[in-house]
Amino acid sequence: MNRPSSRNAFPLLVLFITLMVIFHRLLLGEVFVWGLPSLQFYPWREYAFDALRSGSLPYWNPYSGAGAPLLANYQSALLYPLNWFGLILPLAWSMSVTAVLHLFIAGWGMWAFTGELGVPALGRGISALAFALTGYLVARLGTYPTVFTAAWMPWLMWAALKVMSDKHRRFIGWLAVFTALQLLAGHAQTTWYSLLLVGLFSAYWGVSHRVRWQRMVILALAVALGAGAASAQLLPTAELLAQSQRSSGVDYNKTMNFSYSPERTMNFFAANVFGTPSDGSYSTQGAFFEDAVYFGFIPLISAIAAILTWAWGNLRRHERPAYFASVPFWLVIVVVAFVLALGNKSPVFPFLYEHVPTFSMFQAPVRWHIWTVFGLAVLAGIGVGMWTRGHWVLFGTRLATAAGIGAALLALVAPRFLPPELAQSKAFAPLLLAVVTVSILGALAGVLTLTQPEAKSSSRYPWWMLAVWIVTAADLAYAGWGLNPTAPASFYDPVQPTDEPAGRGYWPEQFETDLKFEEGGFLEFADYRILLDRLAEYRASELPNLNIIDRMPLLNNFEPLLVGSFMRYITLVERYPAQRDTLLSAAGVGYVYDEQGQRVMMNETPQRAWFVDAACWHTDTQSLEQALMDNWDAAQLVHLLGEGDCAGEILSEQTPNRVDSLIDNGDSVVISTSVNHDGWLVLADTDYPGWSARVDGQPADIQHANGMFRAVRVTAGATEVRFDYQFRWFWPSILASVVSIFIVVVLFRSREPQVTE
């Protein structure tokens, strides 16, 4: 393979400095708050790390959804090594800085991968900057698992290429390591797209370079080894997935959420054609961060140059650099990804959803654009080598530079000659600014062309390359400015409520959505500044999952994977208003939030655990849920799932059994009781595999009660009921991870440079 001899790593320094400039407020101690950092990732990790410091494993979260799996929650990414900085550093700050670190890792990986392809230093730098600073990553930086997973994508490609072309065993180990890191980073959708791209590229490379088929087998085994190393995370998540609302896939409407609109293709040419939420100028529907695809003006022109040179260029095939051979592969990847990203805006994705497995696994087809920006970044690195100083190129460049300057000036004066209603519209100013920006970038590209040294051996050429990288980085820094609002780290400090209410709280679905994402909400997609203006109010709102920070239990749970029985129960609460209070009372809810976010207390004092004398059995979930809609009193009767009939009577003449105390330690709940006759103890906590019960030290069966909770049969004289959670596949998952990691270590330490094919 014709690898570049240049070891110039200045683009990585340019990338580092650019990241420091864009995210300089992190250097002042501020942290990310907008969206998921505050609503998901920080609360989950803060509780989990607190549990670890207390000496317990964070398998269970008792503060959301009447209790929910925590480690199994894939996006919590608790076993991802780079998240462990939060154990020794201030958590919110370390999480924010680690997110930015992953942008650097992404650029470094692209630098390594394109170098392995044989791309020269100029192109490697363009590819590294274009991928690391693409809007796809920077705009959604607060979605930590997505960015963390995507950062390892070029490293996976590098390792796979090494496995295909180099027989040293350590590269098998590297491929396993990068696979494990991707799987642990917490975003299954991006991991799936990455591994699929690795497989397609490896197959293409193997065929085009006549690599023996054994190499593909070794590559597959390395990926399997990485999955084995991640077993301690994957097995709990697999169990939750099987129990979740997504166990049979994602429904059509949910899947097609965030389909890419064709008119947004203009965002490839300018990041803010439709405005930006950083200053409130975003003027269209949808989420800016989902549609962001901009990867730089010079990289875009370079990618187009690569395609045109390959298709219609005047270079004969034998005159093209070796790395040009992969252009058709990347072109196909870009086209396929773009079509898939359209989702329901084209007939292709709906057809695949109905007929091809895996296309119903995830929502947001727009996320296929990870392939688009990756492929275009590689093409940009390849095509920038076609940047020449021929006579006609210089002649056209002078004209284009003058035209760019003229277009910018014309755009600046245009508002004076347009109708006021157009010139003053919200959509016009961002479009005008985009035209000016593109014109300036075009003029700068022209200046770079005119100043390009005639020979690459010239002493001026490295400085010219540096200028190209700086212009590209500045372009992308401007595009990404303000897309990740920060606030003082004190935002995440726990708050002790002055009037802590009894029981769990509950946010009606519409009120929660409106207060978070709709117009005027804290997290309005069109204007990130709203949150910063209302930061204290947002922090005090106890929206899910902010409540975890303050250890305030909610019945709500804002997670991607929800226990299926919990999801069905909440659906009943939302769909049947007449039964809402009964269902909420049976879930231990003591208050609900109104549309202003104010607490409204329930009529009855909430109980988390209580005794009933009568039970009614149901053979299927549908029958049980129908019974919950009837005239039903949770304090008198428990509905159970299993074989049996409605039996038992309320023994009103006897002293009622009672709960004396309840101690919750996260993965264990200890209930002290006074029981003078047989009955059922109902605990309004989520019934989930792995929970076991003991009554006065003796094992007891847990029954699925009232649609999603737990109940155990308790006999007269009992004084203590204990529930304990233990992941059922704990030791097999640990064993698989340990064995796989041991094999990886052996691969790295092996002195044998060759593997047998």
Stated pTM of the model: 0.93
Mean pLDDT estimate for the chain: 90
What SS3 class is residue 334?
A: helix
Give, for 238, the enclosing helix (H) or strand (E).
helix 231-243
pLDDT above 90 covers a percentage of the chain that reads 73
Q: Is the pLDDT of residue 752 over 70?
A: no
Residue whose token pair is 């300036």: 440
- For residue range 263-322, list pLDDT tens digits in order: 999 999 999 999 999 999 998 888 999 999 999 999 999 999 899 888 876 555 656 788
Reading the block at residue 715, the tokens are 């006999």
| Listed residue (141, 155, 127, 152) closest to 98, CA to CA | 141
For the chain, which domains are there? 61-243+259-387+452-480 (no CATH), 490-601 (no CATH), 611-730 (2.60.40)
Interatomic CA distance for residues 179 and 136, integer angstroms:
21
Q: Is the pLDDT of residue 2 over 60?
A: no
- For residue range 123-148, list pLDDT tens digits in order: 999 999 999 999 999 999 999 999 99
pLDDT score for 20:
97
Interatomic CA distance for residues 560 and 68, integer angstroms:
12
Strand duo 504-506 + 589-593: pairing: parallel
Interatomic CA distance for residues 187 and 197, integer angstroms:
16
Return the minimum-mean-pLDDT range out of 445-449, 480-484, 563-567.
445-449
Give the CA angle between residues 594, 598, 599 to the nearest 5°. 90
Cβ partners under 8 Å of residue 391, min gap 6? none
Residue whose token pair is 């190499």: 215
Strand duo 614-618 + 646-647: pairing: antiparallel
Interatomic CA distance for residues 579 and 570, integer angstroms:
12
pLDDT score for 392:
45
Give, for 111, the enclosing helix (H) or strand (E).
helix 91-117
Interatomic CA distance for residues 706 and 669, integer angstroms:
19
One DSSP character per residue, 266-330 reads: GGGT-TTTT--TTTT---SSS-HHHH-----HHHHHHHHHHHHHHHH-SS-GGGS-GGGGGHHHH
pLDDT confidence of 64, banded at 50, 70, 90? very high
The residue-averaged pLDDT of 385-404 equals 60
Q: Is the pLDDT of residue 396 over 60?
A: no
Residue whose token pair is 């999480």: 95
Whether 243 and 688 have beta carbons less than 8 Å apart is answered as: yes
Q: Is the pLDDT of residue 1 over 50?
A: no
pLDDT score for 137:
98
Reading the block at residue 591, the tokens are 């208050």
The residue-averaged pLDDT of 73-81 equals 96
pLDDT score for 69:
95
pLDDT above 70 covers a percentage of the chain that reads 91
Could you say which DSSP state residue 724 is in? E
Q: Is the pLDDT of residue 346 over 60?
A: yes
The residue-averaged pLDDT of 541-553 equals 95
- Long-range contacts from 627-631, C-beta under 8 angstroms, 24+ separation: 628/572, 628/579, 628/582, 628/583, 628/706, 628/707, 629/572, 629/576, 629/579
Phi, psi of 172 (to 5 degrees): -65, -40
pLDDT score for 660:
94
- For residue range 570-586, list pLDDT tens digits in order: 999 999 999 999 999 99
Q: Is the pLDDT of residue 607 over 90?
A: yes
pLDDT score for 518:
87
pLDDT score for 438:
86
